[in-house]
Amino acid sequence: MNSLQYNQDLITFESTSIFSNIPISDYIQKTLTKLGFSTERLEYEDDNGVQKVNIIGKKGEGYGGMAYFGHTDVVPADPWFTKEHGAFSPIIKENKLYGRGSCDMKGSIACMMAAVEQVSEAELKKPIYITCTADEEIGYGGAKYVAQNSKYYREMVDGESHGIIGEPTMLEVVYAHKGTYGFVATSKGKAAHSSTREGINANLAIIPFLTEMKKIHDETENDPSWHNDEFAPPTLSWNIGINDNTKAINITPPQSVCTVYFRPMPGQNAEILIERARKAAEKNGIEFDLRSQANSLYVDPKSEFVKEVLQLTGKTTPRTVSYGTDGTMLSAMKKIIVFGPGDIAQAHTHDEWIDLDQLEKGTKIYSKLIRHWCC
């Protein structure tokens, strides 16, 4: 099968992160087995009690070689841009394949599977590893589980395999991305008619807390010590959200919630900001809950590994991206970059698509990398 056919198959699985990814994982495990891989199946239950699966495959003997990483979950597809076909019914129009996950990142997995088909087992001198994780879109839970529990992942680390995270980069070589941190601060009061003094307005406690959050925002935007010009934007994007969920204007708000999500860059100590926010919450009697915590990814752009990938892919300069990947949980890998088909601008959109030309090029380059590192 070619990458288009694989991608069409993968899109048909409704693998939004809130659901189990068992069906698509079964398909991937079956496909890898047909392609000559031995497989490792790691199952776990997410925080909502939903069963999730990671599939890790190895083809060939020994250590080293190439290690590919992709994820099977997708973001929700509501709304979808047309009633002619659903988000999980792939369709081709004007040289584009439409469907949720077509770009992020089932297309990349499809390219890797198609590339493997082009290399016979007899040619392999070093192994090919393929890892397909769950929950990348909601906190990298699958990759974390793999890093902690997979025997094949330990092989990749010990054997210094050449790692490729197949997120969409338009087949540009990415050596670094930002991390992701998120917390929720909740002020609790008491609802009552606003004409009385029976209520406790939760917003009154959140206001000074918000003042401190605004101060942190301004400092990280203006203080060069929180900047990194390797990225665009060069700041950590301290994003503040607020909501008291009060249904009428004459009710004393019983709850007020502030959310903050930010993206620290390599070399920055995000814990300083977390502790500052935590202390501000304690000072104002507000509950503080750190919901997500993932570090940045960084590989020296002048390293021999990055130079080698640039030469193999016909590129001259590596770059960075501001989004996160499973790479945040794969820091034990000494050689790892982000490199995949498709444009991140198409990911998570109401009309997600991938250019068919990107699927063809992705397959060709992945095949070239396999032959270089494994044959």
CA dist 227 and 240 (Å) reads 19
Q: What local confidence, expressed as pLDDT, does residue 168 receive?
A: 98
Quote the tokens at residue 104. 């992020």
Beta bridge partners of 38: 58
pTM value surpassing 0.85:
yes
Same domain, 243 and 355: no
CATH number at residue 220: 3.30.70.360
Q: What local confidence, expressed as pLDDT, does residue 337 receive?
A: 98
CA dist 341 and 165 (Å) reads 11
Q: What local confidence, expressed as pLDDT, does residue 345 receive?
A: 96
Residues 20-25 have a mean pLDDT of 98
Instruction: Report the alpha-carbon angle 310-140-258, nearest 5.
Output: 115
Same domain, 327 and 196: no
Instruction: Tell how far CA 333 is from the center of its chain.
Output: 17
CA dist 146 and 125 (Å) reads 25
* Domain count for the chain: 2
Same domain, 232 and 331: no
Q: How confident is the model at residue 160 (pLDDT cuts 50, 70, 90)?
A: very high
CB-CB contact of 296 with 179 (8 Å): yes
Q: Domain end: 263, 278, 294, which one? A: 294
Dihedral of CA 153/327/3/124: which sign? negative
Q: What local confidence, expressed as pLDDT, does residue 77 receive?
A: 96
The angle that helices 356-374 and 106-117 make with each other, rounded to 10 degrees, is 50
Same domain, 90 and 78: yes
Q: What local confidence, expressed as pLDDT, does residue 144 receive?
A: 97
Run of H or E residues at 255: strand 255-262
Instruction: Tell how far CA 4 is from the center of its chain.
Output: 23
Same domain, 316 and 338: yes
Same domain, 303 and 287: no
Same domain, 251 and 325: no
Residues 177-198 have a mean pLDDT of 96
CATH number at residue 43: 3.40.630.10
Same domain, 188 and 316: no
Same domain, 356 and 247: no
Q: What local confidence, expressed as pLDDT, does residue 329 receive?
A: 97
Residues 40-62 have a mean pLDDT of 97
Average pLDDT, the chain: 97
Same domain, 141 and 289: no
Q: What percent of the chain has pLDDT over 90?
A: 99
Question: Which of 33, 83, 82, 81 has its CA nearest to residue 59?
Answer: 33
Residue with tokens 């601008």: 345
Query: Who wins on pLDDT, 120 or 69?
Result: 69
- Identify the domain containing residue 236 by its residue range: 180-294
Edge-to-edge strand ranges of the sheet holding 287-294: 239-243, 255-262, 180-188, 287-294
Q: What local confidence, expressed as pLDDT, does residue 89 receive?
A: 98
Per residue in 291-339, pLDDT tens? Answer: 999 999 999 999 999 999 999 999 999 999 999 999 999 999 999 999 9
Same domain, 289 and 324: no
Question: Which of 121, 119, 145 has its CA nearest to residue 132?
Answer: 145
